[in-house]
Structure 1
Amino acid sequence: APGDDLLTVDNQLITGLPGSEQTLRMQRVPGLDILRLTGSIPADAVPRVYAVAMRDPAETAARRLFRLLTERGVTVEGTTQARHEPAGVDAAMAAPLLIAQLTPPPLLDSVQRILVNSQNLHAELLLRRVALARGELSPEGGAEVLAALVSEAGLTPVEAELFDGSGLSSYNRVTPRGMADFLRWAAQQDWGDELRGLMPVGGESGTLARRFRGTALEGKVFAKTGSLHGVNALSGYMTARSGQTLIFAVYANDRPADAPSIIGEMDANLVRIAEEN
């Protein structure tokens, strides 16, 4: 929010010529509430809104609540603190008091937000919603359902091994072939067309709104992006020049921090494949 001191922005961006490539990079400084911006933004770039994760969501919520209360004339004694229970310790609370309750959106709305906007929080919460549907209160129950789904799709642990819902765990492993095989299996399910319809569309929506514009794949590629430090990925479906649907999974791993963006090359190769098939 405007005026917040919850996150410090270290702005090292430069302004590029109109029409130049946007190479904005956002990096969280480990252990600190600092967001470092590097790269270049063209002078004629349109405004965009980005969402970033907070280092300690509980502490952030406490500090913001403190500010909201004091701004409204409420006297708050002491300092803000976030208390975290050690792993494996049950929080014993007698007669818990419900302060507020938020009803989650319909499941498909969450899935679409996850796919279109690459919303990690909703992806992690989805794992817990799956567990809750089984009557469990821990994400482990959701992870079991996820593992069973991957197995049903015919993938082995060598091809896919997942440890969370958001995909941010460094232990996650999915090979490009495994991802393509899963997408092929998904397309054969009753819900396959619906899944494809929830994905970002090249040149039109979500994380692909600015990609594939003016190419043979504008409006004809339906795919999910994946971005981590030094990693870019794109997997999904595209309609080739012949009208045939092609399944693809493209990964770029361990890209040096000072290397130029690889996204343009990834997209260009996909366009070339679509034009030649």
Structure 2
Amino acid sequence: MRRKVLAGILVPAVVMGGAGAYAVADAYDVVPGWITAEPVPVAPAPFLSPLPVSAASAPASAVSVVSADAPRPSADYVQSLAEAVRADERTGTSTNVSVVDVVTGDVLADLDADDVQVPASSTKLLTAVSAIADLGPDHRMTTTVTWEPAGRVVTLVAGGDMMLAAGEGHGGDGVDANGYAGIADLADAVVLAAPDVLSGGAVTIAVDDTAFEGPAVNPDWPQYALDNGYVVGATGLAVDVARTGDEQYSQRYPDPSIAAGDHLAAALSERGATIAEGVTRAASPGTASAVASVQSAPLSDVAHLLLRDSDNTIAEVVSRVHALETDRPTTPAGAAQATIAGLDGIGAPVRGLVLHDGAGFSERNRVSPEHLTGAITAALAAEPTQDLLDWLPVGGLEGTVGSRYADTSAAGALRAKTGSLTGVTALAGTVQTADGRLLAFAILADGMPYGPVAPRVAFDEMVTALADCGCEP
């Protein structure tokens, strides 16, 4: 496996406290670090958060530069931290740990690191890394509109983007991947390319999401996740991830594709078209010519959103798009095959890896700490995924780790993906030591009593000890 030398990682000098937490099923992730092959540090990514925050100074360890010459921690010391977190009364014997030196790949802690267990939302890390490994960070999902003049049918064709704006897309402009492209953009393009849509009688609006064969609702997802708006069917077509309101976990439209069609009908009506009542669904791909299309944000930006917000729907649809673009069935099984193959392609360990969804809701997923640290180190060494640390959320700054690590040396020095289901707590990412060494780590526990707070604190104490580490052999 080709290994990239990490010449420098700059972490932010100011850490923002705040950002919300995902109450039930794990929604956000946060870890810092910008990797570059140049010795000169690069500017950090812009701060993104839907909530107000207050600024606080980061500890000195959060502003150092990491290089291949930075002192490596004592493996005995790191192993003792792993053993201590398992022995902690807040965790238990199902707690397994892997810690790896990112530059050399040397194992610093192995506490049954190859044992597979329920990973919860840390699964999303594998989903994102694998999709970008195969498709590239610049891959975009295309939503198309076709026009069939004889039958006067406008069809909205799914391409995987479930983050369309109801109005005009923002096209980037310092905003995240949600709303990058918009239904209004499509409507304008349709009217320009096919002006007869506005004359000659009523227009029927149809949606075609046949490329995503489904089932859209993964059978492994718990009903409460659907009832509470934590996830919606991965149809490959939606406005604002099919939310019916402005909240992150608003109720979702029961049929995201039809709801997107309703938005297009309204937009064309505003532009003067006469719209027939009711949006229909195409039973098979149509043959009409495309008259309009829009593209999503780059996949790297989508990965940042799904990892930061732990967005279950976007994680699932990314895995289905990955299957589609690699000529596999767009089913949960096909998506799992795509994810495992993509990881294997960059040299990440996949032996024993079992996946049933891209989001991590399935309790039949089986992932080991070694799978996670292996994916991280392989991703950082592979060209398509070498910017992984830009996509992960930063401790004390964003997502599910945004409200953690306050007043600790891990604030600003950690980038990680969280995981939480009933009885399951997980954390995987990277942390920079006080000496400037970058470590990949994964801590998984799937035998916890109900409630993640106590094991989560124990995990945080371990990674904070790693951040504090000036612990040469």
Taking structure 2 as the reference length, the TM-score comes to: 0.40
CA contact (8 A) 2:336 2:356 kept: yes
1:58 corresponds to: 255
| Amino acid of the structure 1 residue aligned with 2:448 | R
Match runs of 1:76-87 below 5 Å: none
Do residues 138 (structure 1) and 335 (structure 2) align?
no
Q: What SS does the aligned partner of 1:177 have?
A: helix
Computing the radius of gyration over CA atoms, which structure comes out larger, 1 or 2?
Answer: 2
Do residues 164 (structure 1) and 361 (structure 2) align?
no
Q: What SS does the aligned partner of 2:454 have?
A: coil
How many residue pairs match? The answer is 231
Using the alignment, how far apart are the partners of 1:151 and 1:174 within structure 2? 14
Do residues 104 (structure 1) and 301 (structure 2) align?
no
CA contact (8 A) 1:130 1:141 kept: no
1:265 corresponds to: 458
Match runs of 1:95-244 below 5 Å: 103-135=295-327, 138-139=330-331, 140-152=333-345, 153-158=347-352, 160-244=353-437
Using the alignment, how far apart are the partners of 2:418 and 2:394 within structure 1? 11
Using the alignment, how far apart are the partners of 1:95 and 1:189 within structure 2? 39
The verdict on how the C-alpha distance between 1:186 and 1:265 changes in structure 2, with shifts beyond 3 A counting, is same
| Amino acid of the structure 1 residue aligned with 2:310 | S
| Amino acid of the structure 1 residue aligned with 2:395 | G
Shift of 1:177: 2.1
1:38 corresponds to: none
The verdict on how the C-alpha distance between 1:92 and 1:228 changes in structure 2, with shifts beyond 3 A counting, is same
More divergent stretch after superposition (137-146 vs 267-276): 137-146
Shift of 1:265: 1.6
Using the alignment, how far apart are the partners of 1:138 and 1:92 within structure 2? 15
The verdict on how the C-alpha distance between 1:150 and 1:23 changes in structure 2, with shifts beyond 3 A counting, is closer
The verdict on how the C-alpha distance between 1:246 and 1:185 changes in structure 2, with shifts beyond 3 A counting, is same
| Amino acid of the structure 2 residue aligned with 1:250 | I
The verdict on how the C-alpha distance between 1:192 and 1:32 changes in structure 2, with shifts beyond 3 A counting, is closer
| Amino acid of the structure 2 residue aligned with 1:117 | D
The verdict on how the C-alpha distance between 1:143 and 1:257 changes in structure 2, with shifts beyond 3 A counting, is closer
CA contact (8 A) 2:413 2:467 kept: no
Mark the runs of 5 or more structure 2 residues left unpaired by the alignment: 1-19, 26-221, 230-245, 267-280
Shift of 1:269: 1.5
CA contact (8 A) 1:200 1:223 kept: yes
Q: What SS does the aligned partner of 2:425 have?
A: strand
Q: What SS does the aligned partner of 1:173 have?
A: coil
Shift of 1:273: 2.5
| Amino acid of the structure 2 residue aligned with 1:242 | D
> CA-atom RMSD, angstroms?
4.2
Shift of 1:29: 7.4
| Amino acid of the structure 2 residue aligned with 1:122 | I
Mark the runs of 5 or more structure 1 residues left unpaired by the alignment: 1-21, 36-48, 70-82, 84-89
Shift of 1:191: 3.9
Using the alignment, how far apart are the partners of 2:283 and 2:319 within structure 1? 22
CA offsets, 1:180-233, max 9 Å, x none? 222222222224441111110011122221111211111111111112222221
Using the alignment, how far apart are the partners of 1:144 and 1:259 within structure 2? 30
Q: What SS does the aligned partner of 2:467 have?
A: helix
The verdict on how the C-alpha distance between 1:32 and 1:134 changes in structure 2, with shifts beyond 3 A counting, is closer
Identical residues among aligned pairs (%): 28
Shift of 1:31: 9.4
Match runs of 1:30-41 below 5 Å: 30=224, 33=227
CA contact (8 A) 1:150 1:182 kept: yes
More divergent stretch after superposition (49-58 vs 114-123): 49-58
CA contact (8 A) 1:31 1:55 kept: no
Shift of 1:166: 1.2
Shift of 1:132: 2.7
Using the alignment, how far apart are the partners of 2:314 and 2:225 within structure 1? 23
Greater RCO (CA < 8 Å, at least 6 residues apart): 2
